[in-house]
Structure 1
Amino acid sequence: MKNLFPPSLSRKKLVIFIASFLVFTVTLGFSFYEGTKKTVALTLNGQDKVVQTHAQTVEEVLKELGLTINSNDYLFPSVKTKVKDNFEIVWKQAKQVDIVKDNEKKTVWTTADTVAELLKEQKISLIEQDDISAKPEDPISDKMSIEINKALYLTFIDGSKKAQKVWSTSATVADFLTQQGITLKKLDRVEPSLQEKIEQNAVIKVIRVEKVTDVVEEPINFAVVTKKDTNLAKGKEKIVKEGKQGLKTKKFEVVLENGKEVSRKLVSEKTVREKEDKVVALGTRVLVAQVSRGSMPSGGKEFYVSSTAYTAGCNGCSGITATGINLRANPNVKVIAVDPRIIPLGTKVYVEGYGYAIAADKGSAIKGYKIDVFFPNLSDAYRWGNRKVKIKILN
């Protein structure tokens, strides 16, 4: 091909042409490249930002911004969504939070902004009496720890005081008493034990225990000492010396629970005043009426009575008269049983056909003007039978 330009001119123009062409091409390409950018509005952890990007997907946009996405993060739309012009992306980074509820730890990821939102998200409801380490309006931060102690409804009884209904977030009985400001003395007892874990509707009792000393005065009863006296008729008594009670003190250790006595232990005993025994003389002299076969003596009151006979061994007989005469030991004694309203006991009498005797006995069947005469043997009693006799009072 023939060169139309002079050698020196054509070479210079060619260089200028090529350079101009390259500038035009680059300018045109750059304009085209810039014209393909998309405007994307981002909300990153609550902060708004607008960027121009050639990224094709949400994931590419975030990578351009140097952001690493965690599966627990909130992202809308999803990472594979294609980006268009005037596109919106919302991303909220999840934070790790430890929730310790009633001493049980749980680690969660959350995009909640406040503690209140997190509790709602975790379906944790609180009442006024519950204890939480953070305020509901506190913002959530990464690696945050929130401690929750749920309140329990309890019945508390302190000693003899009236039962109280209380709320408590204590874990053990010991913690509860500390929370309530309860001080235990050395002997006090707690039910259940201090180490016991508290459960809903539990009943906690403080039994107030104390030991006291009780001194009691007690009388010492005197004894009755009897002495035989031959000068007194048998059955008669005579006080020789009056008795006097003694006095002693007893010291007891008493255990009280809630003010009520539950045990009593004798510690010591001391005699303050000695007793003095009562002395009684008992008559032993037997009054024996002598048998007389003579006629009725003169003088004295006379009247007729119906009479029967008995022996010391009769059915229901003890052998001892109402005045103390032992008929078995004195078989020859002359004794009649009388109604004391008619003939007083101890009265000396003369019974027609029987002789001199003493009214020394009585019986349930002897009523009114009736007597029962004593015989030492059954045959004599049968021979006497039932008869009407005259009796004379001698004294």
Structure 2
Amino acid sequence: MARRWTPQRMMRLRTIRIASSMVTIVALLLGFFVCARKTVALEVNGETTTVTTFATTIPGFLREQHVKLKTHDLVRSSTPGQLTDNSTVTVQSAYQTTISIDGQQMPFWTVADSAEQLIAFFEQNEVAANRITVDIKNVYNQLTGGLVINADGPVTVIADGKTSIAPNGKLPAASIIDSKGITLGKNDRVSVSKDGSQTILRVERVTTKEITETEDVPFSTQTIVDDSLEPGATEVRQEGRNGQNQLRYRVTYVDGKEDSRELLDTTPLSTPIDRIIAIGPEPVKETPQKEDNSGASNDEVQSAGQSAGNSAGTNNKQSATENNTGDAAKPSAESSPTPSAQPSQQPSAKPSEQPTSKPTQSAQPTQKPSEQPTQQPSAQPTQQPKPTPTPTQKPTQQPEQPTPSNCRLCKPSPSAAQAYAAGAAAQYGWTGKNWEDLVKLWNRESNWLWYAENKSSGAYGIPQSLPGSKMAQFGENWKEDAAVQIDWGLNYIATHPKYGSPSKAWAHSEKYGWY
């Protein structure tokens, strides 16, 4: 017998369905809670804490823990990409120091806890450590109260021409300098370098002084053409005299030796006087002319023409008509074998044109000597201004792309860019094969040229950022500053979920042709 429907039975069934749904939801929430809950070890500048989190990414985890990151801070995780249970996240705060590579100074962001470690970063990637000098510009205000010099041994201190040994290299630079009784001036320089196994802390005394010097301003020479002089003759019309400027410099001395000087101002004392030289016209180059009557003077030719014209007799009318028809006269003169035809035309037409038309037409040989001197002075001034656009363009072009004052590694050679990248990559732990693969990767991308640009895609710089403006987060001078480009490229590889290291980025580039 089937059960009858009753209100009580309906309520019991509804209660059972609601209870089962609630159990399912609780089970799902409990499962998600168990799976999403992670225990993560967070290490910030050497201090480690164990925290519980539900974050799935490293940036989200750091925001949750209120860890504020600066641009050059290094973040590492034992599980790159996703955050998993029992991961270890390490944060190292970067600070800026100044290094010199082969005498070229550049600001350098580092996480090193000692100068010895900083120099070792370069050495790990086969950059000679004796080429690197660490300049400590403010030893009393560095991370953790002062930069440690050498955590592994003694330090050689050189100051004021004296050399001494500080046995405890674990002390900050400020403490070592104080222990030696050395008082630093405001502009004194403190640097750390390596000479083989010896770590050297050097103090250089810096003084400045303003000096005044007098500088000669050389005169220039002007050349004019004087028709009254003989062809090829020269005459000094005015002797030249140098001018003088007074220059005021601020000179910087390092340990008593001049290191650099800055020009403060220039005061003219006297104006240079130009030297003026007059030259005669160029000698006339006579061109050989064909003469039908060799040795005959013009008068003889003229008289011969007149006598020939008078002795024409009965043919006088015919010669007159031939002279008045221009085209008919020319063939008769050219074809006539006798020399008497040319003299017969010259007195009839050309003597009347010589005084009026020849000076303006400048076609006769008699005008060549007077024409050549007049053309020379007119041609020289017109030719001299032609090269003037080049000096006028240089000043306009140079201010367009000045070297920025805050540019750390501006327009370097590929070798200088690689030297910088060697130390920066070693701070990520990228040495050995990782460094070799990074060199190959950026050789393929840009040949380590800071100005490399892909015309089709717009990718720019040593790491070929697409677009190049992405690198602006590491510095506004990303177009010229190789340090900005390298710092961005290393961070891009480190934080990319598919890479995490140059070797993985290089493997991707080998497979697909890009990274």
TM-score for the superposition, normalised by structure 2: 0.25
Structure whose alpha-carbon radius of gyration is higher = 1
TM-score for the superposition, normalised by structure 1: 0.31
Structure whose residues are more often helix by fraction: 2
Structure whose residues are more often strand by fraction: 1
